[in-house]
Structure 1
Amino acid sequence: MMKPQVADLDKPLTLTELMRGAAAPEAGSTGPRYWRSLSELADDGAFSEQARTAAARAQAAIFGLDDSSRRKFLTLMGASFALAGVTGCGVQPLEKIVPYVEQPELIVPGKPLFFATASSFGGDGVGLLVESQMGRPTKIEGNPSHPTSRGATDIFAQAEVLNLYDPDRSQVVVHDGRVDTWERFLRFAIDLRERKKAERGRGLRLLTRSVASPTELDQIRRLRELMPEAKWHSYEPVNRDASRKGAELALGSAFEVGYHLEKADVVVALDADLLGRGPAGLRHARAFADRRDPDGESPLRLYAFEPTPTLTGVAADRRTPVASADVLLVLAALARALKVEGAPELDGKRIEPHAAAIVALAAELEAAKGKALVVVGDGQPAEAHALALAVNAALGAIGETLTLAPPAELAPVDQTASLVELARDIESGAVDTLFVLGANPVYEAPSDLKMGDVLQNPKLTALIHLGLHNDETGAISHWHIPEAHFLEAWGDVRSADGTCSLQQPLIEPLYQGRSASDVLAALLGEVGVPGQELVRSYWRTRLPAETFEQTWRKALRDGVVDLPAPAEKAAETPTAAKLDKVQWPGPAVLAADELEIVFRPDPTIWDGRYANNGWLQELPKPLTTLTWDNAALVSPALAKRLGLEDQQVVLLEFRSSIVEAPVLITPGQAEDTVTVHLGYGRARAGRVGNGIGFDAYRLRRSDAPWAAVGLKLTATTKRIPLAITQHHHRTEGREPVKVTTFAEYKHPGEGHGHHPHPDGSLYPDPPVPQSEDYAWGMAIDLNRCIGCGSCTIACQSENNIPIVGKDQVLNSREMHWIRVDRYYEGDDEANPATHFQPVPCMHCEKAPCELVCPVEATTHSDEGLNEMTYNRCVGTRYCGNNCPYKVRRFNFLEYTDNTTPSLQLLRNPDVTVRMRGVMEKCTYCVQRINEARQNAKVEHRKVGGDEVATACQAACPTRAIVFGNLLDPESSVSKLRNSPRNYALLEELGTKPRTTYLTKLTHGAEAHEEPRHG
């Protein structure tokens, strides 16, 4: 393993060394260099001075002085002691607690219940487990029985509880701009049904997102049988059109392509973010982490070629930035090196610098035949997907690391082409009635379709919109109907692998919302049929009648319907004849003043559907740490060439459309590629999401939904401040992450290995007895962490953490209890290695924060927890100043919304809601520890070593976070603490953190004689 930079073990530590810890690397040091931004990499002293100046300004803004005098200090101290006695003696109001007359079964006040349910995202079903507190859904976890989620969740699933209680949700039926009723709409729907039935459905259209519900698909099928001339259109801004069209080109039929990383030894990702959000993203992340186990026989090797950094790309052993238009060239060169029949001879001049690496990669894939996999992302054209299937067939991947299954949709279509057809039919007058169920085409459609104008065609006499919000489409509709959240409605979903789950409501609709099934039922003449019966009726036709009730109850309990997955297509090698039919695109040509533009869903608000979710707006995006905004991502080389700076506003012009966007210089970006994220610039998202960022959809075209050349970029003198968290909570030059190679780990040379620091400390042992039964601790495996941020949102949901807004984030006042730091390694700003490090409270055994609190608001428990007593805290913030890990958060203002009724339902009753002037931090989810302790006491046993799972641990899709009892040698955390990869962050300070880390491992340059980029 790599040799850490440590003090001489034979030399006693001085007081100065103990105080400052490890200094920044000295000039001429050959050790790894970690940096958070280009400014820090190029630091000549000005950057550090700027950071210190900013801190001084913040201090002056708070205290109203530049340097606190001794008299002022003593005055504050005296006030602290005086207030400590006052704030701890509040009088609780008198209240009456009325018991149930008849106690409902299983309902115990204060004890949560958990229910299995499911949701749909982009046409893919996700199994969930929802915590309910006295009838209020308060927390979402993954369903461990579901093969897709395997007990984990992503940031979007975690944030759905905030969507449920969003006060800006649509609350009433609106007809022609006036409040109306559901009953009036039903009368309209009944009349419409009779009229359209007589016309065989002529002029009737449905527009939905990707439908993953078997019940809804069956309703649409029956509606089309009832009205044969009615048409159904499906559109997702982030869709898989190219993948299915590629399967049609190569195999003659559309298939859902599934990837199995758990079976692969070598994976090549071509503009494909396997570990990000998408079909089976959670499963891919877990499989990737499991296959990177350093103690396994053959840890997976991952290589990536991509135009903009992704979670998959930065996790790769070798990452190569290439323009989006060049990805097909790379794939064609790889196919030729593998001698794939029918591989095209494309002009490869632009990828000549990578020719040697591609040949070496082909040899590695050939050697791993049967255990190799080549993946192409949805942002690439259908031709690339067809060629990838041919390559995978040649590698023996089909049926092994790649499987083919029938699409889930009733009639899979090219979604972009379907929306184009709908727009043209409306313009021609062929459509007089349109139902838009859950979609928002006015905002999300490609700009060349001008859907805002098209949907106001006077020949379209009935536009009916169903949505969670009265959004851009709802505002121009004749009827707008509030949509029920999935936690309020019955339904079902099908996952990409064929797994079916039931969706059961956990709460009555807050705003009389209706599901898409309810609207379709009205068109089918099934008015008044409850949602549960609609779902049961469908499944009665699919399950054996004699065991239906038993199977139904089991599916509700387990969250998975006992149905076999659809049979996978037998291995089939695409023939050269089929590839010969592919019309290969010509080379992309850039004019002297033109660039390539790439469109991607935003990492935190996706396509805009989460724009009004404050948790996700404030979550730092994994690779830029940007919050509350989107930006034009440019490479360092392009920025130097055009004289651009971070936050500088530029004009982006593409095919006569122009938007203003701030620049964000991003290491790892392809040189002449500009990336913009979708989902911002909303006008009717809600109070949180309105007017934030710029609308990238205005640049998007139906014939170039993902990437195109021809972008013109013009600099302006304007600037927009961006709330970027990468410089917050700096640790002043100390080594944050440890990285080595698999080879060095398995065969450590002389001097390698982890050398613990001397057990010297200025801090005394905690003045409390140590428990003989429990010593709680956490281990975070950096080799498994992919930086997705699920832990941060899970912690926010569990612990009632408020959002603070962009202005406060700009002042470094975000409140997250666990942050995910992103570090670059090395001196290559064009393509540095990237590492992630989750940082919660360390729960130090010798905690610096405890010694400086004047009112003992922060103390140490006998089980090793660094505790906070909120009603004793008087806000001196000495603890925050003395914390070397910068994990304490202070409520400078009253951040929590205590007045909005719906948001009060969101709170976890087991966690105190903090107020202004109080310090807070990670508690190791002490409420979960206490619950486990109470359960164990009732059952007359001890708490199991792995029984307690913190919120961050439960959500983590890769199982990078492990928590448990360090006194139990069989606990998972104890075993990880004994690993040779285990180390403590800033252990040279002698704080003895209970949270430790495991070194990250990569394959380095073992595969090719070139430096690693990851």
Structure 2
Amino acid sequence: EFQEFLQREFPEHASEWEASDRSGRRRFLKLMGASLALAGVTACTRQPTELIMPYVRAPEEVVPGKPLFYATALELGAPAIGVLVESHMGRPTKIEGNPLHPASLGATDVFSQAGILSLYDPDRSKTVTFGGEIRPWTDLLAALREALVTQEAGQGAGLRILTDVILSPTLGAQLEEILARLPKARWHQWDPVGPRLERAGARLAFGADVNTIYRLEEVDVIASLDADFLGPGARAVRHARSFAERRNPGKMNRLYAVETSVSNTGAKADHRLALPFSRIEALARELAAAVGVAGIAAPAPGVNSKWAAAVARDLAAHRGRSLVIAGEPQPAAVHALAHAMNQALGNAGRTVVYTEPIEARPVDPVESLRELAREMAAGSVELLVIVGANPVYTAPADLRFREALDKVKLRVHMGLYADETAELCHWHVAQAHPLESWGDTRAFDGTATIQQPLIAPLYAGRTAYELMAAMAGQPQETFDIVRSYWKAQVQVPDFEAWWRQALHDGIVPGTQARPRPVALRGDWAAGFPAPAAESGLELVFRADPSVYDGRFANNGWLQECPKPLTKITWGNAVLISPRTAEELGLRSEDGVELEFEGRQARGPVWILPGHADHSLTVSLGYGRWRAGRTGNGVGFNAYPLRTSGALWQASGVRLRKTGAWMPVATTQNHFLMEGRGLARTGTLETFRRNPEFVHEMGHNPPPGLSLYPEHRYDQGYSWGMAIDIGACVGCNACVVACQAENNIPVAGKEQVMAGRELHWLRIDTYYQGNLDDPGFVFQPVLCMHCEKAPCEVVCPVAATVHHAEGLNDMIYNRCVGTRYCSNNCPYKVRRFNFFP
């Protein structure tokens, strides 16, 4: 039955037209809200308020139709990534990578590309409200002044500030200034998917907080312990560029990966091992003992001992040129073992370096939020200011944050959206988007970037800098706050020239975090907690590759972007291996109920070849009720199953089949190539023997056997695009970039299920070998512009014709919508907008 599903070439609903209201024009226009707003900016400009003066002498750089590019940076729940934003006559329209920025090197990820749509999102919060009613900014300032006067009498004993993890040097300095003035106040930070266990592992190994940086471009052999370093997150862009640099035949690296679910990193691995989450620590111990880590006793030999021994031999043979990486979800002990292995292999200072932390104030986010929840529940918090975080939705369930929040006398929330936390706060402040505000932030290596706005706030948004300045009793504009901070930090003869250069380059020179020498503690292994015992089914939580932790739930481009490997859109599912699904009598799209510690969640099953047996994986970030019109009610909420003690893995989960059918919208159901050579791969040795081996795989018609005349391109331009499949990590950045560049509409879940998604570029995934342990191939499929295009010869009105330069041109006002071209396209890259 599962084989039949994999071999199904077309969606079941491709021939159906669902005439329900959810599929109709009203639903389509709702989903297209932000895209229509983005298209509408071509007719208007949003400039700062200033005197209107005629262009007696026009600015040299402003030429209608010619774009300008400005350097800035975006924080996406991780260290910042530097970007260049394209602007047309004062309107930002496209985001690209900054070649000078260490986290970008000229590339971006899906979240950066989709950031432009979030800027124009009509569901963004628009003003200051109190109890849901619009109020002026001055009313909020008056309320804060009154509350702070009371707090000053007790040195801030009742004041608590909750933020995301702060990377901004300026904002960090502002918060420290408030705490210095009110010493009994407390600043808490919360990030539901941040590098908490990575830092805990460093403390266990070295006794100190350090920032770990991997130099993948220097690595010959990589061992990944559940580390999706090519997956979602700002560091992944730099990792992908560095990793791809070593996937060339002349200096190719080798990647070993052990993981529970299939990730982008695991799909690119040369050797991959699927293991339940709870068994990875035992494998790490076995690997550490094999490479010679002192103080680690190898566990009893298991079924994976040969695999571990082979990896250990390869790592040892490449001392100083190897690397062991532990994934954030793994326990602190696994991270400590990875650090110890890198030390034993001589990799420290070569393929892995350690620096001072990049955060303004490093904390354990879970313990920080736990302390805040405990104080709120005890009635000790009188004034709570929340900036950016959404703990009502993302907090671990056992902290009972929502109930504790009700006991706070005055609650103020600032965010891009009036989200689940804003709903329970007295005051809500609309936050300005990063593309419409000044600021500063840091990259993964500590490099600072001064963020600059490309447009005045579309709504009455304010910044966290303004809010903190008001709380400090020194209200200022954000520009003045950021500029003043850096003027005090740098000592240069000409600050104005320095400032302009920093804005131009998108980096502040000399701001990288200082290297930190480290050494293993003498008793580092003595602090290891005992590995958790296996207990029935285990549930593994993951940040979603489309909506991350839920912050991008209202972005239609990301919701409709197919997830790598599963190709699921508009929701999440319970991922399960084929063998475990068979044992439990489950099929894809069966509804199930998951229960852990008395809390339940319901969602559909999705069978994923390559997944570890007796484990389940769910993505976070769905099931929201205050995300916006696009994101509300999409998928199911897995956060209620997540506790502070089971942040990434829950053992002993109960699964019950509900009997319901829960359809999943996917863009690909046919994953098997069946020997047809759709995606052609080979080993490095095969390539060395015969660099032309791909042309000998599959059917290749000889040239000249055609009824159609040849096209000649002896003169003029020639067009072409090539994608290196060996380097492609399936991240989907190109898919969203194409959508952003061409403003491609969002179709919605129902139309995706009917096969009517509108992406002009897609990345197909194919399985190779045994479905219990398959290999994976990413196959990008783009606009082909065939030499003898089948779409051209079948069009009855010549709406699609061949250009002299080799392109397949489309004459839209000729098209009468027969869709013959779509039916005749062997690549299925023809797209029709069914709601013109």
- Give the TM-score taking structure 1 as reference length: 0.77
Residues 275-316 of structure 1 show CA distances to partners (whole Å, capped at 9, x for unaligned) of: 11235211110111110111x2x3110000001110001100
1:924 aligned partner: none
Question: Is contact 2:680-2:694 (8 Å) kept?
Answer: no
1:275 aligned partner: 230
Q: Residue 358 of structure 1 aligns to which amino acid in structure 2?
A: A
Question: Is contact 2:671-2:765 (8 Å) kept?
Answer: no
The alignment status of 1:885 with 2:830, answered yes or no, reads no
Q: Residue 795 of structure 1 aligns to which amino acid in structure 2?
A: C
Cα offset for 1:325? 1.1
Computed over aligned residues only, the root mean square deviation of the Cα atoms, in angstroms, reads 2.3
CA distance in 2, matches of 1:846, 1:277: 39
Choose the corresponding residue for 1:705, options 647, 655, 678. Answer: 647
Choose the corresponding residue for 1:635, options 568, 577, 589. Answer: 577
1:863 aligned partner: 805
2:3 aligned partner: 39
The alignment status of 1:807 with 2:807, answered yes or no, reads no
2:702 aligned partner: 758
Q: Residue 179 of structure 1 aligns to which amino acid in structure 2?
A: I
Q: Residue 679 of structure 1 aligns to which amino acid in structure 2?
A: G
Cα offset for 1:748? 3.4
- Aligned to 1:277, what secondary structure does the other structure show? coil
1:402 aligned partner: 352
CA 1:481–1:422 in 2, change beyond 3 Å: closer, same or farther? same
CA distance in 2, matches of 1:124, 1:364: 32
- Aligned to 1:856, what secondary structure does the other structure show? coil
1:373 aligned partner: 323
Cα offset for 1:642? 0.6
- Aligned to 1:740, what secondary structure does the other structure show? coil
Cα offset for 1:765? 3.1
CA distance in 2, matches of 1:722, 1:116: 39
Cα offset for 1:868? 1.0
Choose the corresponding residue for 2:197, options 242, 251, 262. Answer: 242
Q: Residue 687 of structure 1 aligns to which amino acid in structure 2?
A: R
CA 1:398–1:433 in 2, change beyond 3 Å: closer, same or farther? same
1:795 aligned partner: 738
Unpaired runs of 5+ residues, structure 2, are 20-42, 46-51
CA 1:704–1:604 in 2, change beyond 3 Å: closer, same or farther? same
Question: Is contact 1:771-1:863 (8 Å) kept?
Answer: no
Cα offset for 1:763? 4.9
Q: Residue 241 of structure 2 aligns to which amino acid in structure 1?
A: R
Question: Is contact 2:86-2:92 (8 Å) kept?
Answer: yes
Question: Is contact 1:632-1:675 (8 Å) kept?
Answer: yes
1:582 aligned partner: 527
Residues 156-176 of structure 1 show CA distances to partners (whole Å, capped at 9, x for unaligned) of: 001111111111111121112
After the TM superposition, which residues 182-261 of structure 1 pair with which residues of structure 2 at under 5 Å, given as runs? 182-261=137-216
Rg larger for: 1
Choose the corresponding residue for 2:254, options 301, 314, 318. Answer: 301
Residues 918-941 of structure 1 show CA distances to partners (whole Å, capped at 9, x for unaligned) of: xxxxxxxxxxxxxxxxxxxxxxxx
Residues 797-830 of structure 1 show CA distances to partners (whole Å, capped at 9, x for unaligned) of: 000100010010011000000010010012x111
How many residues align? The count is: 804
Question: Is contact 1:436-1:464 (8 Å) kept?
Answer: yes
Question: Is contact 1:307-1:322 (8 Å) kept?
Answer: yes
The alignment status of 1:553 with 2:500, answered yes or no, reads yes
Q: Residue 819 of structure 2 aligns to which amino acid in structure 1?
A: R
Q: Residue 593 of structure 2 aligns to which amino acid in structure 1?
A: L
1:340 aligned partner: 293
Question: Is contact 2:13-2:755 (8 Å) kept?
Answer: no
Choose the corresponding residue for 2:89, options 134, 145, 155. Answer: 134
Choose the corresponding residue for 2:334, options 384, 390, 397. Answer: 384
CA distance in 2, matches of 1:272, 1:420: 27
CA 1:127–1:168 in 2, change beyond 3 Å: closer, same or farther? same
Question: Is contact 1:169-1:468 (8 Å) kept?
Answer: yes
Cα offset for 1:761? 4.4
1:517 aligned partner: 465
CA distance in 2, matches of 1:467, 1:59: 39
CA distance in 1, matches of 2:487, 2:297: 50
- Aligned to 1:736, what secondary structure does the other structure show? coil
Choose the corresponding residue for 1:161, options 116, 123, 145. Answer: 116
CA distance in 2, matches of 1:580, 1:825: 40
1:427 aligned partner: 377
The alignment status of 1:786 with 2:729, answered yes or no, reads yes
Q: Residue 755 of structure 2 aligns to which amino acid in structure 1?
A: S
CA 1:732–1:761 in 2, change beyond 3 Å: closer, same or farther? farther
Q: Residue 538 of structure 1 aligns to which amino acid in structure 2?
A: Y
CA distance in 2, matches of 1:566, 1:403: 11
Residues 385-404 of structure 1 show CA distances to partners (whole Å, capped at 9, x for unaligned) of: 11111111000111011111
Q: Residue 539 of structure 1 aligns to which amino acid in structure 2?
A: W
Question: Is contact 2:5-2:670 (8 Å) kept?
Answer: no
Unpaired runs of 5+ residues, structure 1, are 1-36, 62-94, 894-915, 917-1014
Q: Give the fraction of aligned pairs with identical amino acids, expressed as a percent.
A: 47
Cα offset for 1:96? 14
Choose the corresponding residue for 1:569, options 516, 521, 531. Answer: 516
Question: Is contact 2:671-2:766 (8 Å) kept?
Answer: no
CA distance in 1, matches of 2:552, 2:627: 9
Runs of 4+ in 1 over 6 A off after TM superposition: 95-99, 728-733, 749-753
- Aligned to 2:126, what secondary structure does the other structure show? coil
Q: Residue 133 of structure 1 aligns to which amino acid in structure 2?
A: H
1:149 aligned partner: 104
CA distance in 1, matches of 2:619, 2:106: 29
The alignment status of 1:470 with 2:418, answered yes or no, reads yes
1:537 aligned partner: 484
CA distance in 1, matches of 2:217, 2:231: 17
CA 1:588–1:763 in 2, change beyond 3 Å: closer, same or farther? farther
The alignment status of 1:626 with 2:573, answered yes or no, reads no
Cα offset for 1:725? 1.1
Residues 360-379 of structure 1 show CA distances to partners (whole Å, capped at 9, x for unaligned) of: 11111111000110000000
Cα offset for 1:58? 4.2
- Aligned to 1:780, what secondary structure does the other structure show? coil
Residues 841-864 of structure 1 show CA distances to partners (whole Å, capped at 9, x for unaligned) of: 111111111111122211121211
Question: Is contact 2:11-2:754 (8 Å) kept?
Answer: no
After the TM superposition, which residues 918-957 of structure 1 pair with which residues of structure 2 at under 5 Å, given as runs? none
Q: Residue 313 of structure 1 aligns to which amino acid in structure 2?
A: G
Residues 956-1012 of structure 1 show CA distances to partners (whole Å, capped at 9, x for unaligned) of: xxxxxxxxxxxxxxxxxxxxxxxxxxxxxxxxxxxxxxxxxxxxxxxxxxxxxxxxx
CA 1:734–1:881 in 2, change beyond 3 Å: closer, same or farther? farther
Cα offset for 1:99? 12
2:126 aligned partner: 171
- Aligned to 1:890, what secondary structure does the other structure show? coil
Bigger shift: 381-390 or 808-817? 381-390
CA distance in 2, matches of 1:770, 1:859: 16
After the TM superposition, which residues 766-777 of structure 1 pair with which residues of structure 2 at under 5 Å, given as runs? 770=713, 772-777=715-720
CA 1:60–1:859 in 2, change beyond 3 Å: closer, same or farther? farther
- Aligned to 1:889, what secondary structure does the other structure show? coil
CA distance in 1, matches of 2:693, 2:183: 76
Residues 590-649 of structure 1 show CA distances to partners (whole Å, capped at 9, x for unaligned) of: 2xxx30010001110010000011000000001100000111011111100010011000
CA 1:505–1:564 in 2, change beyond 3 Å: closer, same or farther? closer
- Aligned to 1:188, what secondary structure does the other structure show? helix
1:29 aligned partner: none
Question: Is contact 1:765-1:845 (8 Å) kept?
Answer: no
CA 1:583–1:852 in 2, change beyond 3 Å: closer, same or farther? same
Choose the corresponding residue for 2:310, options 348, 360, 366. Answer: 360
Q: Residue 278 of structure 1 aligns to which amino acid in structure 2?
A: G
Question: Is contact 2:6-2:672 (8 Å) kept?
Answer: no
CA 1:187–1:54 in 2, change beyond 3 Å: closer, same or farther? closer
- Aligned to 2:723, what secondary structure does the other structure show? strand
CA 1:749–1:817 in 2, change beyond 3 Å: closer, same or farther? closer
Cα offset for 1:59? 9.2
Cα offset for 1:249? 1.2
CA distance in 1, matches of 2:639, 2:532: 25
CA 1:54–1:697 in 2, change beyond 3 Å: closer, same or farther? closer
Q: Residue 650 of structure 1 aligns to which amino acid in structure 2?
A: V
